[in-house]
Structure formats: structure tokens, C-alpha cells
Structure 1
Amino acid sequence: MDARSLLPHSTQPNCLTPCMAVPPRISRSAKVKARVVALAPNLPAEVLCMVFDLLVPKHCNDSSDRVRVTHVCQQWRSIAIGHRTLWTTLYAANITAWDTFVRRAKGAPLEIIDHGWSGEKKSSGVDRGLAILPLLPSTKSITLNHGSPYITPDFLAQVASSDSLTTFTLRTDGRRYEGEFPLPSFGSKLHSLAVSGVYCPWNSIRAPGIRKLEIQLPAGDLYHLSGEEIDDPRHFMDLLDALRSLSLLEVLDLCRVLPLPTSRINETTARVELPYLQHLSLKGIVSGCSHLWSLLDLSIRTSVLVQVQESWALEDIDIVLFGQALETHLLRIPDADLANPTLVEVNQCWNKHRRASVTSDYKKVRFYMDGPGDGVFLHPQVKGSGIYLEFPGFLIPDGTPRDEWNSFPVTAKKRRCVDQSRRCLSARQDTGERGTGRE
């Protein structure tokens, strides 16, 4: 469809204004957006630039479209080119346009994104690596694909040495095991580090100023590593040591990277203090999540999300550790703050039919976990405030006094129907069958 068809019939092609700014070769989605956007002719340049940015689709080929958008009229072109923040994102798919973008950015901090693609030639990857290095002094954010041929330890060391880098993301689109890939040492200005699909030894994470850490492995690699790499008892201790060196963390997201805890974890193991942490997300094997969370000293404002894989592997020690971790967390929270809608959420990963959450009522917190044999285990009161936990899958015998909840074994098999605060959890009376779950 030609751009003229989007204009009023009385409008001449040589009289285009910014309010009619639709490039002749822009994508179809941008044309649809342009049809519903009606602009007054006297809008300020900042608003026009926002519309300009809206017209450009957000994908890896966005650089070429961004250039084409300026080819509408002289007024629109002068405004767009003069707004330097529109030209700070460099996509590797359009590396030929980088010089134009850098020139129009006029010294503004750059963001480099290389998604990579299958079947790329080795020479093209090398060219991208050579093009990135000269731009490092003015680059604040870099996203790289681990499968690109120029991603080497030497290259990453040069990237990490940049004083202007604040955000670094390393990911791979494949599901194959890439082997260990040590990370370089980053400067104190790096605030965000994200690694996806690449296994990095925990003790290789050295970034003293980091505020946000995200690490994720593909689901298929968890089993591959569990028998050879992550099962090594050193890995859990290395993870603890790495977290101790990242005391300024505000966001910690570990997905499928939690190693199995070693038998050396005991009461003498030094705890990890993260006083500034605002959001904690643990996703992976049950034992790794329970042990790690129980060793963390968090702020009273920390929100926690725990998603466990293989909930059928939940053991007594995991229940105890989850309870201790939540109890320690709640002890730091004033009674007046217990009315927050959600404090902690623990559920089973990658299963839409099994969801659980910790809902908070005034002076009362319920702790639900989905798993085989749904039921209820009530944790003892915390500081007499009426806080207790409920674990589906574990039951207290009918008639047990509240002051004896703590001493009763969590493996109790007697089942009954429990209704607490408008939540009904039904269970079968037959001790040989699993519970029916939550209604």
C-alpha cells in the first residue's frame, strides 16, 4: 500500500506534514498505527518524536525502518534527526547503518543489541565484533548472543573493562549445553548482569557494584548438569561465596541454576546477608531452593517468589527449611505491614494447573505449596502474632492443640478437611490415596 492512500484526497504529496508522517516503505503494522493517530499541526517536537518512535516496530530489523521514517518531509526529518535519543540503539542486524546512528546520537549513551541468527557467516560475526569495540567508551548497555563467533574470553574482557558499561546481557537461543564459560571481572559501574542459556561458574561472577543479577539455564540443561557439574558439592558453596561478594544486590533472579546442596551445609555455615535486596526469585530443584533461601538474610521489604521443580521430591528437610526461611523473613516485618497483598509465593514451575501463592491477611500469612497429597501443615505462631503457614500435602491430626503444632511430625498421614479463612482444602479419608487438592 502506497503512503498516499493514507492521506486525505485534498492533500498533495509535496505538502506532507509531521501529522501525516508515514514513510513509503514502512512496515504494515506501522501504517495501521499511523491511521489511528491524529495529530495537531502544532505539537511540540518531543511529542512528534514519541510518535516517530511509536511508528517503528521493535525488532532486530528496526534500524532500517527508523531511517526510512525520516524520509517523509523536511520538517519531520529535521525534528527526528535533531532528537538524538532516537538513534542510540544499534542492532547488529543493520550494522551498515551504525555510522549514521552514531553520528545522529551526538554523544548520547549507546545501546548495542546482537540477537544473532542461525546460519550466519563467520566473517559477519567477526565484523560485528570489530565494530563493537571502538564504540565501547560511549556504550552503556550491551546484549550479546553467546553463539556469535566473536564472543571469546578476550572479547568479553575488553567489554567488561569499559568504564561506561552499566548493563550487560549474554544469552544463547539454543538448548544445547555450552560448557563452562567464565565471566570476566566487571567494573564498579556495572549495575545489571543477565546470563541466559550459558553456564557460568558461580565463583567467576565478580561485579562489586551490581544491583541486578539474572541467571537462567535452559530446562534441558538442568538434568545434564545435575549428574556431572552442579551435583559437585563445591558449586553450592561457590554460589554462596559469589552472593556474599554482591551485597548491594537489589534484584536476584536465579532460574534453573540452583545447584544441589552439599552435605556440608549445616548450622555452622555462614549466612549470606543481602540488606538491599528488594526482589528474590528462585526457580529450580526443590532442595536447592529450600537450602539457599534458608541461608539468606533479607530486608523486611524483600518480596520473594519460589518456584520448585519436581515437587514430588519434597522431603521433610525441605519443609522445615522453607518454614524456617519464611519465619525468619516474617520476624523482621512489623505487624502493621502484614496486610500487604502478597509476601511470598511458592509454586511448581512450568505447570499451569498447579498454582499456589502465599496470601496475606491482617496478622496472618498462609503458605501454600502444590504437590502430591494436598492437605495442610500449620506452622507455629510467630511472636504470638497469629502468623502461621499452610503446606498442602502435610496434615495435622484432627483435634491437635495449636500449641502442639510445632512438635507434630510433618509427615502425618491422617487426613481431614480444613477450612481456614475462606479457603477450603479437601482431602480423602483413605490413607492410601492422595489428597484431592484445593477446591
Structure 2
Amino acid sequence: MPRILPRLIEKIKSQASLGKWMPYPLLKARKKAKSLYKRVPPRPSFKYSSYPCSILLESGNPVVNAKDWVRHKTLPPTLSRPGSADASRADVPRQMTEAEFGWRANPYLRMMASPLRKCVATSRHLPSDLLIRLVGVSAPSSVLRRNGGAPQSVLTPDGLLHPKYTSRRRTGGGLYVLCCRRVIQKLARERFKNIASPGAVLHGRTEEHIAHLLRLRVVQEFELLAERLEHAMFTGKNFGGSNVILRRLTRDEWEMLKTSGTSPCENAVAVLVIPPINKDRITKQRPTGSMSPFPPQDELATKELPPTSTLLPLSLNSWSEELPTILPLLKVPLYNGVSAFPSRPQRVALHGILQRILRAERSLRRAHMKNPSSNASNPEKRKSSHAYVLFSDAQTAKRGDSASVARALWRLKMYDGEGWSLTQSITPTTYIP
């Protein structure tokens, strides 16, 4: 060892001026989507009179070359316009059509299109967006010592946060329950014996943990929307149409909404009331924003709060007379920010993200408008209220995914029991806006 160290030090000094050698590239090339689609030949004839000899002796016969008639799906359409591609290919990448953008902008259609899973509380198959997935994880050693060392696993929620911020637990097994607080409270032990050990338990604060993760998912979706709009603002690309994704209601519009009880905005999917956070009475400072996945303590110290949301019908002027009267009126959920987000640090983070979206919208609108001086009728030039309106249509879907924000808000509404009809059996409400 004494003879190796001097030589090793000299070797290190001689290579100190050289750059670091990276055996692998830092950025991996993105794999191109592979398509198995090919044009299928016309339907062959299996009549013996159509062939002068045996069908097996014909070249390209459907018996020996049966794979030539196998049908494959084409590549899914993309949000942005694809680059130049070889026109001779059978499957050329394409952008979504206006109808497909409209389907993507519908949050309730996307919720109904999610994969079906069986609920252990009702034994019914429902879309996974209406359910909560629970998986079993090993209990910490402190819990094992407290319970005499017996093997134990704890059921925890999985898949509630966005994949960008956390990874899902691929345990190979899990159960699904209704996205409802009352169902989590009444979960019996025998309900989840099929996926976990007999010692599986629910944590005492699972109910609060799920509620916090659902609120955090809303903040994450708003942040992703803000990042996409800011990217379009800095790069000068993806302006899309002139439709606004998020704006604040004026005070006149807010007073009209409270007086009439109807939503004055078309293509709106949510109205969110988030007032700015006041300073603390003792420290004279505002709390800092927090997006921690751990439940904060100030959520438990809340008083009696109004409902998380209420449904507002659209104004009669926007209702089409051509539609039959048997269809229910289209309604827009109005979310109370204090009830939906009782934690002050989380509400501060959400309010800051909403301001980022408004700044990006103003910059994009100024760059998109041909005559910026003729904006006297712009609603934002008048005094604004603390109510934010979220829009989603075929034009806004090209600029940002506001439908995912509406889905996250609706899941929070369902968890508080406002999206279900809880009678003898727990079933979804017949009304879906």
C-alpha cells in the first residue's frame, strides 16, 4: 500500500487537466414511434371456381400468407403539428382534428374513458378516475415493535399525484374504492384481504392523507399549465387561438353571478374563488407556499366551512333551443377556495401559480392581438374580483391541458361526497355536466 499511493497520486495529478470522460451520452435520443400499420389487400375469394388450380398453389394466397390480412392500429394523433415525414409511408403522423381536440377538452368525457376497475365497496365496475387505488406497503419497524413484531402492511393511496412529481408503486396488486370520504371511513378489514397479508391495516390518517393528495394534484395540474403557457410566451410558439384559458371575473360579473345564480361564461369548466392570503396576526408576515406531499397541521384546525363546491347552471342565453328538453341543463362547478384548500401554505402556492398563468395569458394575448390599442372592452381592464374562470374547448386544448385541471377539481369534489348520491347503496349521481 505505501508504494501504490505515491504512484496513484502522481497519476491523478497528471490527469487533473483532462476533462471528465463520460462513457455514455448524457442525452438519449428519443425513440420514434413504431407503427405496424400497413394497407390490407382486398378481401380474397375462397370459392373454388375463382382459381384454375388449388388455392395453395397461387402466389400470395390468403392461406399461406394470412399475416398480410392482419389489421393494425395507426399511430395516435399528436397535439402539435408533426414535422416532415415520408409521404410514401402507409402510416404518416398527423395532428388532431378539431373534433378530437374538442373531445380532449371535455374533462367528463376523459373521465368516463378511463380504464374500468372494480370497486371493492360496491362490487361494480367504474372508470378508474372515479376511484382511488390503494396498495399495501411494508410497515416501518417502529410499528412492528409496537404490535409485537407481527408482520403488518399498511394500505396507502397510489396514483393520486402527477407522474412528473412522483412515481407509482408497481406492486402488482391493489384495490380500488370509490373516491368518497365516507367510503374510506367505512372500509372494513375483510375488504382488502385479497391483496395484502392478514395483518393489513389502514392508517389512522388515511382519510386526511388522501384529501391532501387530491388537493395537491390540483396545484400540480395548475403548475403544469403555467409552465406550458410560460414556455409558449418565451419561445413565441404555440399561440393557438385567441381563446383564453384562465381569467378573473370582473366585480360586475361576480355580482351578477351571485344575484342570478348562473354562470355568465360559455365553455367554462370551473369557477374558483381564491382570495389572497392575509398576513399573520402575530408574525405580520404571509406564509410561504408549500407543495409538500405530507399533510400539514393547519388542515386539522379548520372550523365549520361551507361546501367545497356548488353547481351553477349556465345562463339561459347560452342554452340552445334545438336540444331536447329531456337533457339536463349544463352546469359549472363553483369551488370555494377556503373549503377546498384549507391549508394556508397550499393556498398561497395555488394563488401564486394562478398569477403566473394570468401573466402568461396577458403576454400571449398582447403578442397575438393585431391591434393592441383597441382593448377598451377587455374585461381585465376593469376591476377584477377574486374569482377565476377556467375555460376548456377545442382552441384552448391546443395551448394547454385545462381539462386535466377540471378533472382534478372534480375528483376533489367527489371525495367530499358532493359528486355521489349516497343512499342505500353508493352509486354515482345520474347527472354529469
**TM-score exceeds 0.5:** no
TM-score (norm 2): 0.21
